[in-house]
Structure 1
Amino acid sequence: MLIGILAGSAIGWWWPAAGQGLGPLGIAFVKAMRMMVPPVLFCTIVEGIVRHGAARDTGATLLRSVALFLAITVVALGVGMGVTMAMQPGRGLAVPSDASGAADIAHQLAGRHLTGPGDFLVHIVPDTLFSAFTAGDALPVLFVAGLVGFGLLRIGEAGAPIVRAIEALTKLQFAIFGFLIRAAPVGAFGAIAYTVGTFGIGFLGSLGLLTATLALACGLLVSLLVAAVWLSTGIGGLLLLRLFREELLIVLGTSSSEVVLPRLIQKLEALGCPRGIVGLTVPLGYSLNLAGTAVYLIVATLFLAEALEVPLSPGQVALYLAVMLVTSKAAAGVTGSGFSALLLTLSLLPEVPVGAAAMLIAIDRFLSEIRALTSTTANVTASLLVARWSGARPGLPPGFAEQR
C-alpha cells in the first residue's frame, strides 16, 4: 500500500497526463469493493440480530450504539467548532462569486435529490425489497436487514434454514473480499496518481489552512476516542494503530471507508468483541457514526462564513449545529458524500450561500481522505466501547504481545 501510494504520487507529479489516465484503476477497485457492501451489510446485521437471540437484547445494543453515535457526533461538532474558531482559516481569503462552480455543484447533486431532513427518513424505505441492494445507499439495506432479522426471531425454528444460508453467504462474501483486497495497492496507486495528476501536489495554496484545520480537529477527536477506549479496555492508541494499520492505509489510498468494512468486523471479533454486537455496530456506524463528516461540516461552514464575512450569531451557530446532527447522517461512507452533506446543510439555512462551496471542490478529494480516516477510526472505537458497555471485555488477540 505504501509503495502504491508513493508511486502514484510520483507519477501524478512528474507525468500528470499519465496520472490522470490511471484513474480507472482506483475507480474499478472501489467499485469492486462497494458492490459487495450491501450484501455484507445485510448479512452481518441479520446475523447480529439473530445471534442475540432476543429482540430485547438486540434493542439494548441498538440503543447503546445510537446513543454513543449521537454523543460522538456532538463531540465531533464541538471539537470542529472550537478548532475552527481558534485557527480562523477563512480570514482574508478571496472567494469566487456565488455563480462560479455551479456546474460542478449540479454534478455533485445529480443522483441525490436533497429536499431537507425529511429526505433522510424517506431514503430509509426502499421502493421494493430488492431495490435496497441496487440503489447504492446503505440506509435502505439497514432497514430491510432489521426487518428480516426481527422477522427470523419471530418465526423461530422455521427460519433456521434461512439463518444457516445467511451464515454460509457471509463466509462466501468474506472469501470474495479476501480475493479483492489483494488489489488494494493497485487501486490506491491509480487513485493517488489521478488525484495528484489532476490537482497537483501544490493543491494547498490559499486553502492549506482549511486542510490543516480539518486535520487538527479530526486528530483531536480521534485522540479523545482512543483515550476513551484505553480507559475502558486498556487497549492503547499505538496498539490500535498497529492492529488496523492495513485498513487505514487502504482508506487513505481510496478515500472510502466502506472498502474495509469486512476486515474491521473480523479484527474487532479477534479483539474479543462479540459477533452479535459487531454485526450491528459496524454496519450502523457507516450511516450513523460518520464522525469525520460531522467535523468537516462545521469546519467548512464556519470557514465559508468567515471567508464571505458573514457574521453568525451564537444562536445561528447553534441552529447550524442542530441541523448538522441530522445532515451528518446523509453520507454513507462513499467517496465525496461529505460534500453532498455540506450542500444539504447550506441549502437548509440561508446565511451561507450554497454557491460558495464551489471553492472546496478542487480539494475535496484530500478532505475526503481525512474524513474517511476519522470515520473509520470512530467506528472501530465505538464498537469497542459498545462491546465494553454491553459487558464484554475486549483485549489484545492471543499472541499479539509475542509478535511485537
Structure 2
Amino acid sequence: MQWEGEVRAFRRLYVQMLLGILAGTAIGYAAPAFGRDLGPLGIAFVKAMRMMVPPVLFCTIVEGIVRHGAARDTGTTVLRSLIVFVAITVAALMIGLTAALLLRPGDGLPLPSYGDAAAELERQLAGRHVTGAGDFLIRMVPETLFSAFTAGDVLPVLFVAGLVGFGLLRIGEAGAPIVRAIEALTRLQFAIFGFLIRAAPIGAFGAIAYTVGTYGLGFIGSLGLLAATLALACGALIAALVTSVWLTTGLGAGRLSRTFREEILIVLGTSSTEVVLPRLIVKLEALGCPRSIVGLTVPLGYSLNLAGTAVYLIVATMFLGEALGVALPPERIGVFLLVMLVTSKAAAGVTGSGFSALLLTLSLLPDIPVGAAALLIAIDRFLSEMRALTSATANVAASLLVSRWSGARLASAIDPGGGEQRHQP
C-alpha cells in the first residue's frame, strides 16, 4: 500500500537527514533564541561519533598492515596513497587559485574592523597554540602509548597504529591472538557506530538550528561572493575527482551518489567527515576495494588528504589579500601554495581544522595579518560544510584510485548494471 511505502521512505536515514536539516533551518529562522539553545544537540552528536574515531583508526590501520602480510606490500600501498594524496592536493590548490583569480571575491569589498572578533578568535585558539610546520612532527608522537587515544588528535593514533601493525608482522604467529582481538574489536566498534549514526538527523537538526539562529540567513550577504567562489572551486574539484574515478574504474557519478548519499547528507549536516569514517570503509569494500587497502587509505586520508582545506586555504588567503588591499605578486602566491601543501595537512585532527590551517598559513607568512582571519569566523560554519564534503569525496576517490592501481577488480566490472549493494555497518 502507498502509506506503507511512505513509512518505509521515512525510515531511510537520508530522508531523516533532509527533514532534520530543513526543520533546523526553519526553527533557527523563526525562533533564533530557541535555535541557539539547540546547539548542544549537534555538539553532543559530533562528540559521540568522534570519541569512536581513535579506536577505529587504530584497528583499521593495524588490520590493513597485517592483512598485507608483508611490510613491502604495505609500503607500496602507503607510497601509492601518498602520491595520490599529493596529486589531489595540488589539483585542489590550482583549482582554488583559478576560481579566486577569476571571481576576485574580496576585490573592493568594504570590510568592518576585525577588532570585535578578537575575543572569538582567542576563544578558538585557547587550547591550541600554532607554533609552525614542525609542530606536525611533534604532535605525531604521543606522551605515552595510551595518551594517543585520549588527546583528541588523530596523528598520534596513526603513529602508534603503524608501530603496532609492523610489530605484529615482526612477531608473526605469536601475535595471532592480538590480531583476532583487534578484528573482534573492529566489528564491535562498527556495531556501536551503527547505533550512534541513527542519531545523525537529531545532530544535524541541532547544528543547523544553532547556526541559523546565531547568524541568521542574511548574514552571508556581504561575504556571499567568497562562499560562491569556494563552492565553485570545491564543485570543480569534486567533478574532476568523480571524472577521474569514472575514467579509471568505470564507476560513474550516479553509482557513487547512490552509494554514498546518506554520508553526503551527514557530512553536510554536521560539517564533519570523521562521523562517516566506518561507513565509508564498509561501502568502499562493497564496491570492491580490498579491506587491506581501504584500511590504510581512508584513515591516512583523514590526516593527509584534506582537499577541502586546501581549496579553502588559497581561496580565503586571496580573499583577505584583496579585501585588505595587499598585493600578492605571482612569486608570493607560489610561496603560499608551497606552504599550503604542508599546512593543509598540519592541522589534521583539530576541530575546525580548515580555520586552524588558515591561521597556521598566515602565521608563517607575514603578507596578511593573522588577525584578519577573524573576519571569516561568522561564515566559517557554512564554509566548513563545503570543506568537509570535498575532503570526504577526495578520500573516497583516493581509495578507489589506489585500489584500482593495485589491481583490484571493482564493482563496475562485476556489476555492469550498477545495482546498489546494501551493506550497512
1:391 to 392, 407, 414: 407
Q: 1:398 deviation in Å?
A: 5.8
Partner of 1:95: helix, strand, or coil?
Answer: coil
Partner AA of 2:222 in structure 1: S
2:189 to 150, 173, 176: 173
Taking structure 1 as reference, are residues 400 and 202 closer, same or farther at Cα in structure 2, changes over 3 Å only? farther
Q: Which residue of 2 aligns with 1:247?
A: 263
2:356 to 326, 335, 340: 340
Taking structure 1 as reference, are residues 291 and 164 closer, same or farther at Cα in structure 2, changes over 3 Å only? same
2:76 to 44, 53, 60: 60
Q: 1:388 deviation in Å?
A: 0.4
In the aligned structure 2, how far is the partner of 1:263 from the partner of 1:398?
21
- Same amino acid, percent of matched pairs: 76
In the aligned structure 2, how far is the partner of 1:126 from the partner of 1:333?
14
Q: Which residue of 2 aligns with 1:137?
A: 153
Q: Which residue of 1 aligns with 2:26?
A: 10
Q: 1:110 deviation in Å?
A: 1.8
In the aligned structure 2, how far is the partner of 1:38 from the partner of 1:401?
34
1:268 to 270, 274, 284: 284
Q: Which residue of 1 aligns with 2:139?
A: 123
* C-alpha distance after superposition, 1:160-214 (max 9, x if no partner): 0000000000000000000000111111111111111111111211100000000
Matches within 5 A, 1:349-368: 349-368=365-384
Gaps of 5+ in 2: 1-16
Partner of 1:90: helix, strand, or coil?
Answer: coil
* C-alpha distance after superposition, 1:304-324 (max 9, x if no partner): 000011001111101100110
TM-score (norm 1): 0.98
1:23 to 35, 39, 59: 39
Partner of 1:276: helix, strand, or coil?
Answer: helix
The answer as to 2:297 corresponding to 1:281 is yes
Partner of 2:178: helix, strand, or coil?
Answer: helix
Aligned 8 A contact 2:141 2:156 in 1: yes
Aligned 8 A contact 1:291 1:374 in 2: yes
Partner AA of 1:17 in structure 2: A
Partner AA of 1:343 in structure 2: L
2:170 to 122, 132, 154: 154
Aligned 8 A contact 1:98 1:353 in 2: no
Q: 1:332 deviation in Å?
A: 2.8
Taking structure 1 as reference, are residues 8 and 80 closer, same or farther at Cα in structure 2, changes over 3 Å only? same
Q: Which residue of 1 aligns with 2:233?
A: 217
Q: 1:115 deviation in Å?
A: 0.8
Taking structure 1 as reference, are residues 387 and 121 closer, same or farther at Cα in structure 2, changes over 3 Å only? same
Q: Which residue of 2 aligns with 1:163?
A: 179
TM-score (norm 2): 0.93
* C-alpha distance after superposition, 1:39-92 (max 9, x if no partner): 000000000000000000000000000111011001100000000000000011
Aligned 8 A contact 1:43 1:145 in 2: yes
Partner AA of 1:394 in structure 2: L
In the aligned structure 1, how far is the partner of 2:125 from the partner of 2:420?
48
Partner of 1:328: helix, strand, or coil?
Answer: helix
In the aligned structure 2, how far is the partner of 1:324 from the partner of 1:173?
34
Partner AA of 1:192 in structure 2: I
* C-alpha distance after superposition, 1:361-380 (max 9, x if no partner): 00000000000000000000
Q: Which residue of 2 aligns with 1:77?
A: 93
Gaps of 5+ in 1: none
Q: 1:335 deviation in Å?
A: 4.7
